[in-house]
Structure 1
């Protein structure tokens, strides 16, 4: 029987960061998942010794790993679309190639999405170099879900859009500290969107169109994960989870040209 979670990792020219990401997956206490990489690097990433070493660790632990060399590059939305096409598990965890997960992270996300019964849940990635940079003015939008997570329509210009400030810098870390949360407890909260680590009910993401809008975009674009999340949230609801189990490696972006935002091109 196939694992119930596909961990879908789009990657491009980041073998050492990817090795850190994979090492976090290898250390998970919840083991029932498969890893699928869609690689847009010029040289296949699985030829890198660090990536190959951690892949062997994952496979030793019984975790299947699939690597697709997806070239030529057609943009980040197309890469995510390709990953979704490769997935057949009930849950699809989109994980960026510069994010390290706490050992309890995958299990917590699966627990949360089952309990909340919504379209997706996610961890906002924490930039720990900002640990001493407290921004209380950006935390005022924090609002917890009490009981069932309901569908929401969130669009730019609405008050709910201000929730994106919750995920800046080390704000998720500071929120968890303020609420005195630890890995044994968790809270669900309202979001605008989440980048870097999102667990979807795959059927809900497919129903909302996934990333099939990629042909409408130029190759250089950004914000490809915002549109699907807004669509899924409007139909099935979505939530952030605290404390966050995701840490951003804070490397330079592989998408330096960000003039085109998907939100501005793709109709919602």
Structure 2
């Protein structure tokens, strides 16, 4: 019988077998090994995790002591509901929401876990580098605000100046910043964020305390920004940060969320109790 892991890696996936295989393969080489993987698949037709390339990696992971729970979750009710479903299966103290098209350096989980334990904050994220933009240098989008002390709660809204921080995570901006500053794994630093997409580790209890993704029923199935809204709510109560160097790379596939008219943090309150009182 498997004992409870320290981190549950929660992966929503849809129609991306090859990308999922790459993501799982990068998890299989992590220096931090006390984690379990939970996959929630909403693919058309056969599940992505039933494809040969994914099965091969899953067998290798399970044979080397990494538990993988692969679930089908249909019908589709939107990404917020998909994430709520994944969170309902989390039993670890920490949960890493990881997109199905991310390549990780081998110490990313180890560094993220060390940071969230030390900081006792709500989340830490590794922003995704888009390496096709390696030659596209954008100094006007590379401002970074470091945390010099403990990560603190912070309120960020779409109409606040801090919202502009999201530009740091466009293209390869963060990669250019870490290269310019000469930062390495040994000199990891924390910085202030608006939000982080694709690779975010939460304190599971803190995420649940702020409602998790239970707001899914307040949104139409076609929406975006559900991950952003959850982060903003956690950050306001418990604080959140990004780590640099990131060590996470985007596979840069076309998005599977094609309808973006309803953006969760722009239609739902950041502070649900206070804003609706």
Residue 94 of structure 2 is matched in structure 1 by 91
Residue 159 of structure 1 is matched in structure 2 by 161
Taking the aligned partners of 2:181 and 2:212, their CA distance within structure 1 comes to 34
In the alignment, structure 1 residue 227 sits paired with structure 2 residue 229: yes
Residue 194 of structure 1 is matched in structure 2 by 196
In the alignment, structure 1 residue 76 sits paired with structure 2 residue 76: no
* Residue 55 (structure 1) shift: 0.3
Residue 106 of structure 2 is matched in structure 1 by 103
| 1:267 corresponds to which of 250, 266, 269 | 269
Residue 204 of structure 1 is matched in structure 2 by 206
Taking the aligned partners of 2:50 and 2:145, their CA distance within structure 1 comes to 45
In the alignment, structure 1 residue 256 sits paired with structure 2 residue 258: yes
Q: Secondary structure in 1 aligned to 2:269? A: coil
* Residue 256 (structure 1) shift: 1.1
In the alignment, structure 1 residue 115 sits paired with structure 2 residue 115: no
Q: Deviations over 1:145-182 (max 9, x none)?
A: 01111100111121111100110000110111111011
Residue 181 of structure 2 is matched in structure 1 by 179
Would you say the 8 A contact 2:142–2:174 is kept in 1? no
Q: Secondary structure in 1 aligned to 2:241? A: strand
* Residue 17 (structure 1) shift: 0.5
In the alignment, structure 1 residue 14 sits paired with structure 2 residue 20: no
Q: Deviations over 1:2-55 (max 9, x none)?
A: 111000000011011000000000111111100000100122122100000000
What is the TM-score with the length of structure 2 in the denominator? Answer: 0.95
Taking the aligned partners of 2:180 and 2:211, their CA distance within structure 1 comes to 37
Runs of 4+, deviation exceeding 3 Å: none
Residue 275 of structure 2 is matched in structure 1 by none
Residue 39 of structure 2 is matched in structure 1 by 37
Q: Secondary structure in 2 aligned to 1:255? A: coil
Q: Secondary structure in 2 aligned to 1:87? A: coil
Q: What is the root-mean-square deviation in Å for CA atoms of aligned residues?
A: 0.8
* Residue 124 (structure 1) shift: 0.5
Residue 50 of structure 1 is matched in structure 2 by 53
Taking the aligned partners of 1:257 and 1:266, their CA distance within structure 2 comes to 17
Would you say the 8 A contact 2:158–2:266 is kept in 1? no
* Residue 184 (structure 1) shift: 2.2
Q: Secondary structure in 2 aligned to 1:51? A: helix
In the alignment, structure 1 residue 64 sits paired with structure 2 residue 67: yes
Would you say the 8 A contact 2:158–2:265 is kept in 1? no
Q: Deviations over 1:77-109 (max 9, x none)?
A: 110000000001000000000111100110010
Paired residues in the alignment total 267
Taking the aligned partners of 1:176 and 1:264, their CA distance within structure 2 comes to 31
